[in-house]
Structure 1
Amino acid sequence: MDDEGLSREFESLDIKAPISELPPYIYTPIEVGHFRVVTILPGAFEDDIQIEITEVDGNLSQELQYEALSYVWGSEEKPKKIYVIERGLQSIVSVTQNLAEALPYLRHFDAPRKIFVDAICINQNDTNEKNEQVLRMAEIYRKASNVIVWLGVETENTAHGLEIIIEAYKSIPYRGESWVPTIRSILAMESKTYQVDSTWINAINDIVFRPWFRRLWVLQEISVSKTAIVIIGKKKMSWFSLVAGIRRICWNKSILLQANTHALWTAQTAFELRHIANFCPESYYNLPQLYGGLRSFRCKDDRDKIYATRMLNTQLRNWITPDYSEANITSHVYTSLSIKSIKSKNTSSLRHANFSSKRSDTPSWVPNWAFYDLTPWPAFECISISANSVAKAEILRGENLVLSIDGLEIGQIISSCDFPERSDASIYDRRKLENGFLISFKKLYEDITNKPLSIDHLTRLLFLDQFKESYQSPVNLRSREKGRTRIWERIESPEVSQEMLWEKWSSDGSLFITQEGRIGVGAKGIKVGDTVCVLLGTDPAFVIRALEGTGRHIMIGWCALENILYGEALLGTLPVPWQAVCTLKTDPFGKHLPGWRNKETREVIYGDPRLPEADKDMYCEWEDTPGRFYWHGDEWRAEDPRLTSDFFRARGLDIKTFEFV
């Protein structure tokens, strides 16, 4: 029956039964490869919502015109009941208040509307069906003619907030049809000054503080969509315009100093991930990059931190299959992901291991992916403390899961202090806390070591060497000297700076001092007596803690130490006149690659000058893929196959095998 016939048939029904007396809708088993869609039957805005639920063949869904809803479920307390019409019979389904609030705005007055709504279209009480349907979710949203982003109802600030965002979007000069603006246009937009007052901030926050921007599943739903429209009450605009406008706002320094930067950056993440889905290889994000970028997103079920991101990473799809059974608890999912990553010779997940946030039912080397305030290893892509070495790691099974991995001890911690706690205090008060913290750390260092604190070393650590001088191509970053001045002003001047130094660290970082008098920055929870080590095959260094009498350790978290950012602990200092730089690769995202620049001739090479030249048959640089790759055995690898444990032992380094529980 066509939509018009369906509408006429419905209009002829005489619904008399009170909704409280109707039985619940009974889901019939769905065929493999099929999914359901909801037809919202026409009516006036104030009428009761009445729907039909239809099973469709997913293989034929391209012939079926339907939309898909992207929204936040919200609280399941006090659910609302809506009518279901099936072959002239009536029943009810219960939905959350958020969904019940949205449906009248989605209903057409004079025509039915077909929409995929996960809460209704998937039998939430059937685990097997839920597992199968979650696997198909990306396909369902990809084949939808349109994705509807429901942000909620209007408030008194909504109209003004949308006006600001639309104005910002219209000010973006694009290069053809590219989503990437020119460097010149970005600089121009950053320099523009907005008149930002409380009314302006309230209007923007009315949009970006809505829960949709922190729901993890929306990333999959929006990144695969053909087109998307945003609805706030009775107002509509294209999703691209909305999020591009928000992204534009994020580029302006005058706004960042006054608005809630965390909310703004979270809002634009969906924009960037759709860009990646459209233009880049699926493997563009490795696991630490992926989960580092998504750490602020929420999901009701902690297992969804993994399941909801499978479509963004090929390895995840190969390693993890959604399983919502009660036996497959969250710790099993997280541990399984770490084990499969390590067995694939990829130790990158260790960057997120943080003892202060770990789950009580997982080993210390398994990250707690659901810890929303997790501070990941925040360095840019050209830093490799382990010098692009080969990881020698394996999982030892026994009473407890043990990670065995080779590495090098480089220091013992004799003092540490955590960064100031994140709070809801004003930016001015938080800057004062930062000033006081730096002054206290300088005094602590000089009391312990009896020598002055190197502002240069502290600057490079706090900014992790992200300065103009670290890049071969022009970038919109401060110079190293300006960074040094910022730190110096914090310590020596009573004036409160206009800039926050370490939003990236939040409240999860710390500064520490080793017995050799070197300073380091790392994860929270470091104690006196902990050891700093480099684990082969991982980008950061790590703080580890010995378990007395066992010969084993627990992993506290990542760290960086002065003068080891570019592999100096393993390969020694760079010879004069070479310096490490990032070079811009001409791929869709301008991916940066590590290189080495001769400061005298300005020549840039991609082979480490501390190593003999590699056999030309050993490596390949792919123009369409980020990175430098080495042929080893029967596969391409990202690490240098020469840099093994035995290689470093032959050079006189005391490479040890650490066991982590």
Structure 2
Amino acid sequence: MTLDLMVANPFEYIQLRDVRCIRLLELEPAREESAPLRITLKKARLDRTCLPRYEAVSYVWGPPDFNRAITCNRKTLCITPSCERILLGLRRKIKRRLLWIDSLCINQSDTNERSRQVSMMDKIYKSANRVLIWLEVSGPKISSFFKYLAYCARYCDSYEGGVLVREIRTVLQFLRNLEDKVWHSYSNAHEDYMPIAQQIFRSPWFQRVWTLQEVSLAQAKRVVMICDDEEISWRHILRASAGGYPLDGVIRSEMLSAIAAHCFFCRLIQWERSRVRQRIRLLLFGETLRDASLVPVQSSFFNFSSASKIDLRLFRKHFQNVNMVLNLTRRKHCYDPKDKIFGVWGILRELGVDLSRPNYQLELETVYIRAASDIICHDGNLDILRTVSSPRRAQTLPSWVPDWRTGWGLAPSFLDLLSPPFKQSRTRFGHSITRTRTLITKGTVLDRIKECAWPLMIDGHDPEELIQRDLWAAIAKSDPVYKILQQWFSYSQQLSTYPTGDSTQNAFERTIQQRIQSQYIPLGADERWFDMVAFDAAQMEWNSPKPQINTAEMAKDFAYGRLQPLSTRKEPEINKASDREAHEFQRTVFDHLCGKRFFTTEAGYMGVAEFSIEPDDAIALLIGQDMPVVLRRRGDAFRFVAVAYVDGMAESHTWPERVDDNDIIEIV
């Protein structure tokens, strides 16, 4: 179709005056694949029992190039190439097909309509007869790979009716059966199917915000994935990934199970083939065999290399925390940054959360401020502060509001999120937010930062490979991780006494280990590591002038890749050294503390916090926040800097009997 004709006879959307109305797309059949696409957009009342049976499509928009022309209601409508491919792929030869596709059924140029329709998205997907996950993936092995996944799912369903088994003997027998009857019967299946699995599960669909909500809100039995004209039930994917038990009702509903599997598959294809069997065991039951039903949810948040080190029982009471649900979107993609909030609005409403309705006419900062305020009100605490820190956050946002456009950055680890050490403030929370975007709460400033050591960051290049036989000699000579931690220890030893009465070395060990659970540390590995740090630190001289650290420049360097967290660098070959358990402990330490900075305070405490802290920053306890926070004076108010771990401070502080006896603290 020529451009002149496209301009001369354009399709125009008719306003939906009834707020309960949606548009459905009727796709005309065609016997020839080359036949022009013809659709008709019709209105339908979403709340009527006579709502026609339709299929909702979950897909990735792709580049917003509206350079393909189709016939819509006998006029010309410009659509994107990806949308054209979907319509061609779903078009039948004889029968019409009734679909809901957001880019066509919503007038994207009308922000009021977009806002209303987005707030109905949960109902749209729940009301659909089927939800079609459209992946633009093709290959000769898709059909056999889908059959393979379905076989795994059916076998898992047949094992004791899908009931989760908990006895160790039964677990081991199940693993043997699974390996014998599934993996062995599909000889070398993981080798044969790994390329197509990578192609499918690395699809952008798994990385988008909107697709997370779309598949999560639908019933799994009504969801199918389509690749190259081949279909597989989403339920089969869930069952195959769960490894033998249904995910329905694992936490609250099937919806959250879909979230778990959605995120899980982003990790699945990164497994090393040589460790498939080990990873299967971890996926199914975890190393502790406790709360095995939560392992898929666990995999939503953690790399499998460290997943088993978490006590899964901590998840149950925290997962429905609104702040954690929103943070599922932090690393997912969308064209409009407002959709980091609006894209999960339906999920939150399904969980009973009263978040402000989507409104695309609002400025981005207003959307984020409202979301942060809603989270604080719903959760009844200030846990949101733990997810604020990010080197790329916009400085125009209030310091207490997360910039959801950025990833986690250097935010506290999930150990911080799941196991807070200080709980006295939890039931005393109260706050208000002014029109000037100021968070007003109560608390008390207890201390100030005196000195800061170097953060656990290194330059982006890989360290020189090490071949020394002695692990500790190798680390001490060449590993910057070890040298920085030596410096941390030296700073701690400048404190002659500790306020709690304990030794400074014990305080340092607690600060480094924090809440890394002892049952996951090989016996004696931590003691050997601390002994070595203490011995080498005693041989080093730290009396030379300490270099000044420009945290603003450091944040800029990190944001643009000139600095990297230690955990992202290539691992040196010290793995080949003798004491692997102690080295593994060190890896656990810096994985937990990467991007953080050791500090001492004027009152003689020690702790760690994000690298953006500076000397003279205030350390405060806030009502509604379980951990100490670092604040920076800004006139009569403060800017929030970071949540901190300060060894012994929270435990030794006694809150006033009356809330009103605390200080009013304003955070801008």
| Alpha-carbon offset, residue 439 of structure 1 | 0.8
What's the CA shift string for 1:68-127, capped at 9, x where partnerless? Answer: 01111111025322222x3xxx21222222222222221222211111101101111122
Is 2:446 the counterpart of 1:418? Answer: no
What's the CA shift string for 1:408-446, capped at 9, x where partnerless? Answer: 5255251133333797989x99x9999934312232124
Please, which of 343, 358, 381 is the counterpart of residue 308 of structure 1?
Answer: 343
Superposed, 1:518-557 pairs within 5 Å as 519-547=606-634, 550-557=635-642
Map of 1:215 onto structure 2: 208
Please, which of 28, 31, 41 is the counterpart of residue 14 of structure 2?
Answer: 28
Map of 1:206 onto structure 2: 199
What's the CA shift string for 1:459-481, capped at 9, x where partnerless? Answer: 76566524265xxxxxxxx2574
Amino acid at match of 1:646: E
Is 2:634 the counterpart of 1:646? Answer: no
| CA-based RMSD | 4.8
Superposed, 1:497-536 pairs within 5 Å as 501=588, 508-514=595-601, 519-536=606-623
Greater shift, 505-514 or 374-383, is seen at 505-514
| Alpha-carbon offset, residue 251 of structure 1 | 8.8
Question: What secondary structure does 2:119 align onto?
Answer: helix
Superposed, 1:109-120 pairs within 5 Å as 109-120=93-104
Map of 1:467 onto structure 2: 517
| Alpha-carbon offset, residue 281 of structure 1 | 11
Question: What secondary structure does 1:339 align onto?
Answer: helix
Question: What secondary structure does 2:588 align onto?
Answer: coil
Greater shift, 454-463 or 208-217, is seen at 454-463
Question: What secondary structure does 1:218 align onto?
Answer: helix
Superposed, 1:212-251 pairs within 5 Å as 212-226=205-219, 227-246=222-241
Aligned CA distance change for structure 1 residues 433 and 517 (closer, same or farther; 3 Å): farther
Map of 2:54 onto structure 1: 66
Whole-Å separation in 2 of the counterparts to 1:223 and 1:56: 23
Residue 639 of structure 2 contacts residue 667 of structure 2 at CA under 8 Å; is this kept in 1?
A: yes
| Alpha-carbon offset, residue 164 of structure 1 | 7.0
Is 2:483 the counterpart of 1:440? Answer: yes
Residue 71 of structure 1 contacts residue 151 of structure 1 at CA under 8 Å; is this kept in 2?
A: yes
What's the CA shift string for 1:488-523, capped at 9, x where partnerless? Answer: 699799436696637976965444444566553333
Superposed, 1:375-414 pairs within 5 Å as 375-376=411-412, 378-379=414-415, 381-395=418-432, 397=434, 401-410=438-447, 412-414=449-451
Is 2:356 the counterpart of 1:356? Answer: no
Please, which of 331, 353, 362 is the counterpart of residue 296 of structure 1?
Answer: 331
TM-score (norm 1): 0.68
Aligned CA distance change for structure 1 residues 479 and 51 (closer, same or farther; 3 Å): same
Whole-Å separation in 1 of the counterparts to 2:611 and 2:171: 35
Greater shift, 219-228 or 538-547, is seen at 538-547
Map of 1:592 onto structure 2: none
Map of 2:42 onto structure 1: 54
Amino acid at match of 1:568: E
Is 2:408 the counterpart of 1:373? Answer: yes
Map of 1:580 onto structure 2: none
Residue 54 of structure 2 contacts residue 100 of structure 2 at CA under 8 Å; is this kept in 1?
A: yes
Whole-Å separation in 1 of the counterparts to 2:55 and 2:612: 48
Question: What secondary structure does 1:313 align onto?
Answer: helix
Residue 598 of structure 2 contacts residue 607 of structure 2 at CA under 8 Å; is this kept in 1?
A: yes
Map of 2:358 onto structure 1: 322
Residue 438 of structure 2 contacts residue 666 of structure 2 at CA under 8 Å; is this kept in 1?
A: no
Question: What secondary structure does 1:53 align onto?
Answer: strand
Residue 37 of structure 1 contacts residue 121 of structure 1 at CA under 8 Å; is this kept in 2?
A: yes
Whole-Å separation in 2 of the counterparts to 1:144 and 1:341: 30
Greater shift, 438-447 or 362-371, is seen at 438-447
Whole-Å separation in 1 of the counterparts to 2:206 and 2:505: 39
Map of 1:484 onto structure 2: 526
Aligned CA distance change for structure 1 residues 211 and 47 (closer, same or farther; 3 Å): same
Map of 1:624 onto structure 2: none
| Alpha-carbon offset, residue 390 of structure 1 | 3.5
Aligned CA distance change for structure 1 residues 451 and 72 (closer, same or farther; 3 Å): same
Question: What secondary structure does 1:501 align onto?
Answer: helix
Map of 1:339 onto structure 2: 373
Residue 413 of structure 2 contacts residue 592 of structure 2 at CA under 8 Å; is this kept in 1?
A: no
Residue 68 of structure 2 contacts residue 79 of structure 2 at CA under 8 Å; is this kept in 1?
A: yes
Whole-Å separation in 2 of the counterparts to 1:142 and 1:521: 46
Whole-Å separation in 2 of the counterparts to 1:539 and 1:113: 54
Aligned CA distance change for structure 1 residues 155 and 254 (closer, same or farther; 3 Å): closer
Identity %: 17
Question: What secondary structure does 1:60 align onto?
Answer: coil
Aligned length: 541
Map of 2:130 onto structure 1: 146
What's the CA shift string for 1:357-385, capped at 9, x where partnerless? Answer: 43222211111122223435523534342
Whole-Å separation in 2 of the counterparts to 1:450 and 1:106: 69
Greater shift, 113-122 or 182-191, is seen at 182-191
| Alpha-carbon offset, residue 392 of structure 1 | 4.8
Aligned CA distance change for structure 1 residues 256 and 291 (closer, same or farther; 3 Å): farther
Amino acid at match of 2:665: F
Whole-Å separation in 2 of the counterparts to 1:222 and 1:269: 16
Residue 410 of structure 1 contacts residue 532 of structure 1 at CA under 8 Å; is this kept in 2?
A: yes
| Alpha-carbon offset, residue 157 of structure 1 | 7.5
What's the CA shift string for 1:339-366, capped at 9, x where partnerless? Answer: 3444564323222222634322221111
Map of 2:262 onto structure 1: none
Is 2:632 the counterpart of 1:568? Answer: no
Whole-Å separation in 1 of the counterparts to 2:618 and 2:394: 22
Is the helix fraction higher in 1 or 2? 2
Structure 1 unaligned residues grouped into runs of 5+:
1-14, 274-279, 470-477, 572-643
| Alpha-carbon offset, residue 190 of structure 1 | 9.2
Amino acid at match of 2:651: E
Whole-Å separation in 1 of the counterparts to 2:7 and 2:443: 67
What's the CA shift string for 1:626-646, capped at 9, x where partnerless? Answer: xxxxxxxxxxxxxxxxxx643
| Alpha-carbon offset, residue 270 of structure 1 | 12
| Alpha-carbon offset, residue 130 of structure 1 | 1.4
Superposed, 1:554-633 pairs within 5 Å as 554-563=639-648, 568-570=651-653
Residue 41 of structure 2 contacts residue 105 of structure 2 at CA under 8 Å; is this kept in 1?
A: yes
Whole-Å separation in 2 of the counterparts to 1:422 and 1:502: 19
Greater shift, 129-138 or 331-340, is seen at 331-340
| Alpha-carbon offset, residue 23 of structure 1 | 1.9
Whole-Å separation in 2 of the counterparts to 1:333 and 1:214: 22
Residue 189 of structure 1 contacts residue 252 of structure 1 at CA under 8 Å; is this kept in 2?
A: no
Aligned CA distance change for structure 1 residues 219 and 486 (closer, same or farther; 3 Å): farther
Residue 347 of structure 1 contacts residue 391 of structure 1 at CA under 8 Å; is this kept in 2?
A: no
Amino acid at match of 1:145: N
Whole-Å separation in 2 of the counterparts to 1:235 and 1:562: 57
TM-score (norm 2): 0.67
Aligned CA distance change for structure 1 residues 117 and 19 (closer, same or farther; 3 Å): farther
Aligned CA distance change for structure 1 residues 253 and 21 (closer, same or farther; 3 Å): closer
Aligned CA distance change for structure 1 residues 220 and 419 (closer, same or farther; 3 Å): same
Structure 2 unaligned residues grouped into runs of 5+:
244-264, 284-294, 302-314, 496-502, 537-572
Whole-Å separation in 1 of the counterparts to 2:619 and 2:641: 10
Aligned CA distance change for structure 1 residues 252 and 212 (closer, same or farther; 3 Å): closer
